[in-house]
Structure 1
Amino acid sequence: MSDTQPEPSSSVPELDEDQVAAWLVAHPDFVARHPEAFEAQAIGHDAQGAASLIERQVARLRQTNRELAARFEELVGTARANEDRVVQLNRVARIMVGATEVDALIAALTDSLQQHFGVDATGVFLEGPARADINRILWLDDASAAHEALTHVRRRGKPICGELTAAQAKALFADGDDDAMFTSAAFIPLGRSEVRGAIVLASRDPQRFTPDMGTLFVELFGALLTATLARLIGDDAVA
């Protein structure tokens, strides 16, 4: 018979570290009530020579404060950018409301977008036969290069921002002497029940229009222009 006695089972339950941490967070006065527990902890010195838990807490609070300040500045920047977009949208909306003729409308929009929106070229494209009384709209047919260049936005039916290839620039802005210099663009569909064309805002700056930028304001711009064109040239053109 063996004289070996079974070891008594431990009465201390095994605790998960996350549970312990959560409990300590919920009871911040624990160390004050049980200083012996604090004395038993192995709290090393960091590279900056912090020698106490209080210093560590202060450093952590300062870091949190820096993160909150950076987040606040980011939110302020976003709010200012959105305010600028609202002002720009209101500006072009006033132009559309007062428009009585298509060519004058597009000329005024082009000037405003160049001055206030950082756009270097603007093109308006619609399906249908050319109209002798409208010169600033390029009328699309299935065989045209411009029709092909707008395939992606016509299929998606939503604004697309990003790279403008040299082939697209040539197809959409062939009358310009420097069309190849346009490197980014916002493709904004026009039409009510279906896409009947697009307005393209082009820039020489490759970062002016990027795939990750928000499209809410350009989508609203497209809806406003669709309604204005319907009023000026008839619902059939943008139905």
Structure 2
Amino acid sequence: MSSKQNSQPQGPAMIDAETIAEYLHQNPEFFEQNPDVLAELNISHQLSGAVSLIERQITTLREQNLKLKTQLENLIQIARDNDQLNERMHTLTLAVMDADSLNEIYIALDDSLRGEFGADAVTVKLFVDTAQADIDADNDLMQTIFVPMDDPRLDGFRQILGHEKPVCGALKPEQLGYMFGEVAEQIKSTALIPLGGEHCSARGCNYLGILAIGSHDERRFHTNMGTLFLSNLGEILSRAIRPYVADNK
């Protein structure tokens, strides 16, 4: 007597979503070869209900195209801004080169930074005694610009000079007061640019001075901003003032 073995009918093997996705990746022509499947395929969309795969692809491509277009427009605007910046920088350089005295250099610098670059305050401090420089002793502006290198009020700036490059951000109240005087309370951000520190050695840099540019906008000069333009400005001004200032080693 034989007994029948109990067996369950075997159904089709279950295929998970990962397997299907992998197959479609390996066979991107599947929907071209099976248009009837594509015609019946719908994808749920949060905004517009059910849309076909092709419509979804078109929407995705449009979104990508819009993103690329926005990026391109941003790059074009940056290029235009740089062109305008270079043009203003060229104008400033010519004005400084045409100056015949320290007083004229300062006036040209102040006019350009305020008029062309939107600065709210401009100050230059040169680290020499008035007797060492070619200046007009009766000129109050020049008397304000020149300060002895050992002036204790400069102590708050020596660490900044140690960076050997422009430093941007918010200054302490005493630093603002020294640089900007009666308008100090209005200055919310500042760019400090060392002057004349091109030749540095193990003993340090022989700086001619420091240029301070102040803004009423606390976001104008910040610690993460690029400083290439400011460095170039410092080099131009250093070259312009050096002939008028005796070696202060």
When normalised by structure 1's length, the TM-score is 0.79
Q: Give the Cα–Cα distance (whole angstroms) in 2 for the partners of residues 75 and 128 of structure 1.
A: 44
CA displacement at 1:190 relative to structure 2: 1.1
Which amino acid is the alignment partner of residue 193 of structure 1?
A: H
- SS for the counterpart of 1:185 is strand
Q: 1:164 to 1:20 in 2, by over 3 A?
A: farther
Rg larger in structure: 2
- 1:187 touches 1:198 (CA, 8 Å); kept in 2? yes
When normalised by structure 2's length, the TM-score is 0.76
Instruction: Show the counterpart of 2:116.
Output: 116
Q: 1:140 to 1:87 in 2, by over 3 A?
A: farther
- 2:191 touches 2:221 (CA, 8 Å); kept in 1? yes
- 1:121 touches 1:201 (CA, 8 Å); kept in 2? yes
2:146 to 121, 138, 145: 138
- 2:41 touches 2:53 (CA, 8 Å); kept in 1? no
1:75-118 superposed Cα distances (whole Å, 9 cap, x missing partner): 12211221121012101110122122111101111011111111
- 1:125 touches 1:198 (CA, 8 Å); kept in 2? yes
2:155 to 148, 158, 167: 148
CA RMSD after TM alignment:
3.1
Q: Give the Cα–Cα distance (whole angstroms) in 2 for the partners of residues 179 and 16 of structure 1.
A: 68
- SS for the counterpart of 1:217 is helix
Instruction: Show the counterpart of 1:78.
Output: 78
Matched, 1:187 2:186: no
- 1:125 touches 1:140 (CA, 8 Å); kept in 2? no
Q: Answer with 163-172 or 49-58: which moved more.
A: 163-172
- SS for the counterpart of 1:173 is helix
CA displacement at 1:180 relative to structure 2: 1.6
Instruction: Show the counterpart of 2:244.
Output: 232
1:163 to 170, 173, 193: 170
CA displacement at 1:151 relative to structure 2: 2.6
Number of aligned residue pairs: give it: 224
Matched, 1:127 2:136: no
CA displacement at 1:35 relative to structure 2: 4.4
